[in-house]
Amino acid sequence: MGDSMRWMVLAACRSADPGIFEDTETSGPREQRAVDAALRVCGTCTVRTRCLEWALATEQPQGVWGGHTTPQRRALLRARTRPRIARRVVRAA
């Protein structure tokens, strides 16, 4: 494990059921209970911010990471990309 991933050994999810972090984007009650359980684990985690940053940097396609679901992370990535696109358009003008 590289230095940039050492935070993982401190993650609260290491002792949790990995199945609750799958975040399949299916909106049934069972899936929602799993996501809620994952978010509760994330809420106790001391490395939640590092986890989220890693998930965003590596564009994790699925799962609960850093206390965020897949749709929430996609929205964060879109928000981060928009300013860069706007700067490119302004520079090109």
Annotated binding site for [4Fe-4S] cluster, which residues? 13, 42, 45, 51
| Residue ranges of the binding site | 13, 42, 45, 51
Burial of 15-52, coded b for 16+ CB within 10 Å and e otherwise, reads ebeeebbbbeeeeeeeeeebbebbbebbeebebbebbb
